[in-house]
Chain A
Amino acid sequence: MAKQSTAQIIGKRLLGAIPSVIGVIVVTFLLTRALPGDPAAFFAGPAATAEAIAEVRVTLGLDQPLLAQFFIYIGELVRGDLGVSLTTGQTVVYDLTTRLPASLELTLAGLVFAIALALPLGILAATRPNSWVDHGVRLLATAGVSLPTFFTGLFLVYVLYYKLGIAPAPLGRLDLLHSAPPQITGLYLIDSLLAGDLELFGVAAAQLFLPTVTLGLFALAPLARVTRASMLGMLSSDFIRTARASGFPPRQVLFGYAFRNAMLPVITTLGVVFSFLLGANILVEKVFAWPGIGSYAVEALVASDYAPIQGFILTMALLYVVLNLLIDLLYVVIDPRAGVQG
């Protein structure tokens, strides 16, 4: 087999994501049509007359066969038309794009927190198998996946906000005294730094702290578990023994040899971790009144407002496909063998 260049491999992976995207669009379309009752009645709103509903039905193309409806749906997607939210009165695309940065900031912060804790803990546990550190990490990993995120969040709010008064009130991204920094990335932490406003950075970080910890604790468990297992496997392998016997300093053996190789399964696990994070995000956003797309979808659900929910599911699924693709690419970059086998 001819050895492929990295560019070729990356191109192949990009093509490989297309079936996922098609699958996501088909499933989202089917969910749209499986809505309880008459979609036209839902889109027209509760106060609509029979004529208005009939009119909406024609506009939505609901009087046409399913396949034709599918192509109409694709057309709308291409034009970036996801309908109008009944609760906010804005287009769904506008709502989603204004709220997406809040969700991204929270998810990324949670991920960074989880990785920053999980990797050292996993390595520590693997270098001292059956010690108290090891047992502690095992307990933490099992407890972590058992934690209902919404409950952890509430518990942290009670202890750190109500009892100790350290954390700010769980009411969104900023307190009432501050307004948002000029939008560049949409992530308040970065935007406030770019604007040179350190006070605002502090406020945004304080608001972000509890939701991040809540989300991170949940994502930490699988990462720590895989890091530990993978490091254990590496440390008992032949090439590590050789490196040790050759007299390399322990630090170099641990980080230069074992850790780099042990990272590959951890990166693969990131896909599952993102699935966890994006799901848990919805719950955490509800607990902390975080103005992201998760709480937007929950509000829409309560109001039986279906256009935002469809838009939300599509956005989340596409986001997840993109994240998985990035993980795949990261894997190719780190492990030169990945392309040859694939």
Chain B
Amino acid sequence: MATTTFSHTRYVISQNLITFGAFGLFLILVLFAIFGTAIAPYDPLASNSAIALQAPSVAHWFGTDQLGRDVLSRVMVATQLDLGIAVLAVALSFLVGSALGTCAGYFGGWPDRIISRCIDTLMAFPLFVLAMGLVAALGNTVTNIIYATAIINLPLYTRVIRSEILIRREAGFVEAARLTGNGDWRIMARHLFPNVLPVMMVHISLNMGWAILNAAGLSFIGLGVQPPTAEWGIMVAEGATYIVSGEWWMALFPGAVLMVAVFCFNLLGDGLRDLIDPRMRT
């Protein structure tokens, strides 16, 4: 019994090497997010003008920035903030989107019409522009970056959940639940919604990458996170001034880590999709 489980696991892993690689990378990112501050070799905010703008060396693997801060330490510490913003934003828009989408799909009629109309209005904006406008209007804080990222992701969750619920609304297990005396809300929460969750995991993973990019983009143009806080987008923005004079390490390392993080979530999402529903593969 144990050997068959083992060989089956080995088979699944060998068929999805890239996905498991991405999962490993994901665990590393999570480790950095939790312990980044503790294991960073230097204080991410300690400036020292004597060692400003040094190229990568044994002492400073990623070099130092214009204030002599260690780039490696800043990149490590920033993991928590960047992932934190994305996780909170995605969680928020998943929760709200699930509630809205489930109601719209299950009840149909006027709740569906109102919800769909609101979502269409959000979709009428280019999403990054809407996020920019929201942060400008709500105020330039990290909390509002989270809200803005959550709002621009809301259409995705609402629409996907609505259509998934719509497919299952008349399914046998729903009828059975209704016949045994379950109320509407109970059917939605206990029977329909759990049924949609596996599909949603794929979207959440793909969406995480997009949320990280979006938040980093906003801080790159000067919204949300303010200096001297360590954050990937703002570090690239600070490094941008120096790249034309050859100091490439300040922008390259945070940018590369940002890219790897997003890539990891996208690969993970693709892999999950292949595992959960091979027909969705494109």
Interface residues of A (CB under 8 A from B): 19-20, 23-24, 26-28, 31-32, 34-36, 142-143, 145-151, 154-155, 157-158, 161-162, 169-170, 225-226, 228-229, 274-275, 278-280, 282-283, 286-287, 297-298, 301-302, 306, 309-310, 312-313, 316-317, 320-321, 324
Q: Are B133 and A148 in contact (CB under 8 A)?
A: no
Distance in Å: Cβ of A87 to nearest Cβ of chain B? 14
Q: Are A282 and B125 in contact (CB under 8 A)?
A: no
Q: Are B125 and A316 in contact (CB under 8 A)?
A: yes
B240 at the interface (CB under 8 A from A): yes
Distance in Å: Cβ of A64 to nearest Cβ of chain B? 20
Which of B60-68, B189-197, B212-220 participates in binding chain A?
Answer: B212-220
Interface residues of B (CB under 8 A from A): 117, 120-122, 124-130, 132-134, 136-139, 209-210, 213, 216-217, 220-223, 233, 236-237, 239-240, 243-246, 248, 251-252, 255-256, 258-259, 262-263, 266-267, 270, 282
Q: How far is the CA of A274 from the CA of B130 in the complex (A)?
A: 14
Q: Are B266 and A145 in contact (CB under 8 A)?
A: yes
Q: Are B222 and A19 in contact (CB under 8 A)?
A: no
Distance in Å: Cβ of A303 to nearest Cβ of chain B? 10
Q: How far is the CA of A331 from the CA of B237 in the complex (A)?
A: 40
Query: Looking at chain A's contact residues, is the secondary structure mostly helix, strand, loop, or mixed?
Result: helix
For B209, the closest partner residue in chain A by CB is A146
Query: Known contacts A154-B251, A301-B223; can you find 10 more A-B pairs with CB under 8 A?
Result: A27-B125, A36-B138, A146-B262, A150-B237, A151-B251, A278-B129, A279-B217, A297-B132, A309-B133, A324-B124
Q: How far is the CA of A42 from the CA of B158 in the complex (A)?
A: 36
Contacts of B248 in A (CB 8 A): 158, 162
Contacts of B267 in A (CB 8 A): 142
Contacts of B209 in A (CB 8 A): 145-146
Distance in Å: Cβ of B120 to nearest Cβ of chain A? 7
Contact of A147 among B121, B133, B246, B259 (CB under 8 A): B259
Q: Are B220 and A317 in contact (CB under 8 A)?
A: no
Q: Are A279 and B263 in contact (CB under 8 A)?
A: no
Q: How far is the CA of A31 from the CA of B151 in the complex (A)?
A: 14
Contact of B220 among A225, A278, A283, A297 (CB under 8 A): A283
Distance in Å: Cβ of A317 to nearest Cβ of chain B? 5
Q: Are A169 and B129 in contact (CB under 8 A)?
A: no
Q: Are A278 and B217 in contact (CB under 8 A)?
A: no
Contacts of B124 in A (CB 8 A): 20, 23-24, 317, 320-321, 324
Q: Are B255 and A154 in contact (CB under 8 A)?
A: yes
For B254, the closest partner residue in chain A by CB is A151
Contacts of B240 in A (CB 8 A): 150, 154, 287
Q: Are B216 and A148 in contact (CB under 8 A)?
A: yes
Contact of B252 among A24, A31, A155 (CB under 8 A): A155
Contacts of B129 in A (CB 8 A): 278-279, 282, 312-313, 316-317, 320
Contacts of B262 in A (CB 8 A): 145-146, 148
Q: How far is the CA of A313 from the CA of B210 in the complex (A)?
A: 21
Q: When A and B form their complex, which 6 residue pairs have the shortest distance between CB atoms, in order from nearest?
A: A279-B128, A23-B121, A151-B255, A229-B282, A278-B126, A146-B263
Q: Are B259 and A34 in contact (CB under 8 A)?
A: no
Q: How far is the CA of A148 from the CA of B209 in the complex (A)?
A: 10
Contacts of B121 in A (CB 8 A): 20, 23-24, 26-27
Contact of B127 among A170, A275, A309 (CB under 8 A): A275
Q: How far is the CA of A229 from the CA of B221 in the complex (A)?
A: 35
Q: Are B126 and A279 in contact (CB under 8 A)?
A: yes
Q: How far is the CA of A302 from the CA of B263 in the complex (A)?
A: 30
Contacts of B130 in A (CB 8 A): 313, 317
Contact of A31 among B134, B139, B216 (CB under 8 A): B134
Contact of A142 among B122, B223, B245, B270 (CB under 8 A): B270
Q: How far is the CA of A150 from the CA of B252 in the complex (A)?
A: 11
A-B contact pairs, 30 of them (CB 8 A): A23-B124, A24-B121, A24-B124, A28-B133, A31-B134, A35-B136, A36-B137, A142-B270, A146-B209, A148-B220, A148-B259, A150-B220, A150-B237, A150-B240, A151-B251, A154-B236, A157-B244, A162-B246, A279-B126, A279-B129, A279-B217, A282-B128, A283-B217, A286-B220, A301-B221, A309-B133, A310-B133, A316-B126, A317-B126, A324-B124
Contacts of A20 in B (CB 8 A): 120-121, 124
Q: Are B258 and A283 in contact (CB under 8 A)?
A: no
For B118, the closest partner residue in chain A by CB is A23
For A147, the closest partner residue in chain B by CB is B259
Distance in Å: Cβ of B168 to nearest Cβ of chain A? 24
Q: Are A146 and B139 in contact (CB under 8 A)?
A: no
Contacts of A146 in B (CB 8 A): 209, 213, 259, 262-263, 266
Q: Are A298 and B222 in contact (CB under 8 A)?
A: yes
Distance in Å: Cβ of A143 to nearest Cβ of chain B? 6
For B121, the closest partner residue in chain A by CB is A23
For A233, the closest partner residue in chain B by CB is B282
Contact of A24 among B125, B243, B246 (CB under 8 A): B125
Contacts of B243 in A (CB 8 A): 154, 157-158, 162
Q: How far is the CA of A23 from the CA of B239 in the complex (A)?
A: 39
Q: How far is the CA of A286 from the CA of B243 in the complex (A)?
A: 14
